[in-house]
């Protein structure tokens, strides 16, 4: 590295040509970046771009530093300049796509860039990994994400990192492929810490894993505990959660702190622009745990609606998800059976589900006779609920009208009583009261 730095410095001072000086600065920046000296790297990359604003290698390297600093806007500007010069650069396309995917509105464009990068360099595991990570950001694309992770891991061989194993485990758990998920979580732990979880006493080393200080160790172990919950192996799940709390008391994930969870999911929802329906499901769980039943129903409704317009592969799973959401809605109804808000939201959900099934035909999606019959039943139930709520609203409105009328009559009766008391017409009541008040004031001390 020292020799490269010396040659680059010599080249910089030996010429006044901006392009040559820019290349020298870029080479020095590369050395510092490889050595982890990112501030020095940024300084030289910036100088290189300043000397030659069209020098693509410097622009790309500078964008990498900007991404590290989370200055995504400036990074995108650099990468777009590179694309104008080298439109078929897989590295540029993939990095630009990865950054743009952070904005839900630009996600389609981001995926297009990543797909182009894969077409140009299908043997690069990093590009497949970036593509998989972006797809993982939306539950609609979970299946495609899992496929992309598989390609990346197949190309990378023994170089697969623990985070990738963890993410694949999450996706396998989503598919209810619990054994595969457990295998991936164990692989993540093994690659991260060198510890194997095998045999009847497999969970004994959990404390050692948690105290290893390795990045993501706690997250992976926590995911493993959640997996055991899904598998209904509650004793294992509880033991891991207790170990997490004992080893790391500051880790709130194992405490069930729903208020904090609510804040986190709301922030995720804001950042994703509602692009991920699973956020609504989790928010629904949190709100239900907090006893906020009507908002919970609204979240479950949004979750189900997020799947009504899916492609055929996803459409076949819609019923299962709907039933899962309805299970929580029924819990909410049982807790507060007299809540009109909950009744209204449940009816609205049933109506929207029915319309979703009926509109499958227009979207060239298959629908079964059972689905259609269920949709009709739900539509009738929703209609009955709406009519009942309407009647109750009309009764309430009539009661309010009568109450207001009674108040008006009470005021008139009081005025009439006053007029009879003083022996004058109702119109003279205020005048007589004012005169009485003046007489009273005259007796007051001055």
Q: Is the pTM of this model over 0.95?
A: no
Let me know if 408 is exposed, middle or buried by CB neighbors in 10 A (0-12, 13-18, 19+). exposed
Cβ(118)–Cβ(128) below 8 Å: yes
Q: Where are the domains of the chain?
A: 161-253, 258-386, 399-442
Work out the pLDDT band at 315, boundaries 50, 70, 90: very low
CA distance 138 to 132: 11
CA distance 110 to 117: 11
Through-space distance between the first and last CA atoms of the chain, rounded to whole angstroms? 99
Nearest in space to 75 (alpha carbons), one of 83, 84, 67 = 67
**Any residues with CB less than 8 A from the CB of 369 and at least 6 apart, and which?**
none
pLDDT at res. 369: 78
CA distance 15 to 116: 39
Cβ(322)–Cβ(353) below 8 Å: yes
**Of 164-168, 281-285, 318-322, where does the model show the most confidence?**
164-168
Neighbours of 150 (CB within 10 A): 14
Work out the pLDDT band at 223, boundaries 50, 70, 90: confident
- In this structure, CATH architecture of domain 161-253: Alpha Horseshoe (1.25)
Work out the pLDDT band at 370, boundaries 50, 70, 90: confident
Let me know if 51 is exposed, middle or buried by CB neighbors in 10 A (0-12, 13-18, 19+). buried
Find tokens 């208020």 and name the residue: 259
Using one digit for the tens of pLDDT, what is the confidence trace for 28-85? Answer: 999 999 999 999 999 999 999 999 999 999 999 999 999 999 899 999 999 999 999 9
Nearest in space to 167 (alpha carbons), one of 153, 151, 140, 146 = 146
Residue 274's SS3 state is coil
Q: How high is the mean pLDDT of the chain? A: 76
CA distance 299 to 434: 59
Using one digit for the tens of pLDDT, what is the confidence trace for 320-352? Answer: 556 666 665 666 556 556 666 667 667 766 776
The tokens describing 70, both together, are 């989370």
- DSSP string of 303-369? HHHTTTT--HHHHTTHHHHHHHHHHHHHHHHHHSTT-HHHHHHHHHHHHHHHHHHHTTGGGT----H
Find tokens 């501030």 and name the residue: 39
CA distance 349 to 238: 35
Using one digit for the tens of pLDDT, what is the confidence trace for 77-106? Answer: 999 999 999 999 999 999 999 999 988 889
Q: What is the mean pLDDT of residues 131-160?
A: 88
Residue 275's SS3 state is coil
Using one digit for the tens of pLDDT, what is the confidence trace for 395-418? Answer: 556 566 666 666 665 666 556 655
Higher pLDDT, 389 or 212: 212
């Amino acid at each position: 590295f020292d020799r490269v730095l010396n040659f680059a410095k010599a080249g910089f001072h030996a010429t006044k040509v901006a392009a040559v000086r820019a290349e020298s600065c870029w080479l020095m920046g590369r050395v510092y970046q490889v050595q982890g000296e990112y501030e020095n790297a940024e300084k030289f990359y910036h100088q290189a771009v300043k000397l030659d604003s069209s020098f693509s290698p410097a622009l790309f390297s500078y964008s990498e530093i900007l991404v590290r600093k989370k200055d995504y806007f400036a990074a995108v500007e650099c990468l777009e300049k590179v694309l104008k010069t080298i439109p078929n650069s897989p590295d540029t396309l993939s990095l630009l796509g990865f950054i743009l995917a952070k904005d839900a509105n630009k996600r389609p464009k981001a995926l297009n860039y990543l797909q182009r990068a894969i077409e140009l360099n299908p043997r690069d595991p990093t590009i497949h990994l970036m593509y998989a990570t972006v797809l993982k950001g939306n539950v609609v694309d979970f299946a495609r994400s899992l496929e992309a992770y598989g390609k990346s891991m197949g190309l990378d061989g023994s170089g697969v990192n623990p985070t990738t194993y963890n993410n694949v485990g999450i996706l396998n758990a989503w598919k209810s492929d619990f054994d595969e998920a457990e295998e991936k979580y164990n692989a993540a732990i093994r690659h991260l810490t060198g510890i194997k979880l095998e045999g009847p006493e497999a969970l004994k080393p959990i404390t050692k894993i948690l105290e290893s200080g390795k990045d993501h160790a706690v997250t992976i172990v926590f995911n493993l505990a959640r997996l055991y919950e899904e598998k209904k192996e509650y004793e294992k799940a509880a033991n891991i959660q207790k170990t997490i709390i004992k080893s790391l008391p500051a880790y709130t994930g194992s405490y069930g702190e729903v208020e904090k969870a609510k804040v986190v999911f709301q922030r995720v929802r804001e950042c994703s622009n509602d692009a991920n329906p699973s956020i609504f499901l989790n928010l629904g769980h949190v709100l239900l745990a907090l006893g906020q039943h009507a908002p919970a129903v609204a979240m479950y409704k949004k979750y189900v609606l997020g799947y009504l317009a899916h492609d055929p592969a996803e459409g076949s799973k819609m019923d299962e998800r709907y039933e899962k959401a309805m299970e929580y809605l029924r819990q909410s109804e049982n807790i507060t059976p007299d809540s009109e808000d909950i009744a209204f939201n449940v009816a609205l959900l049933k109506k929207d589900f029915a319309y979703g099934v009926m509109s499958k035909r227009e979207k060239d999606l298959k629908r079964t006779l059972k689905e259609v019959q269920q949709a009709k039943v739900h539509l009738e139930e929703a209609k009955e609920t709406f009519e009942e709520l309407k009647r109750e609203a009309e009764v309430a409105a009539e009661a309010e009208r009568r109450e207001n009328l009674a108040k008006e009559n009470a005021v008139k009766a009081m005025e009439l009583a006053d007029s009879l008391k003083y022996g004058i017409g109702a119109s003279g009541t205020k005048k007589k009261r004012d005169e009485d008040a003046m007489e009273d004031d005259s007796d007051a001390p001055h």
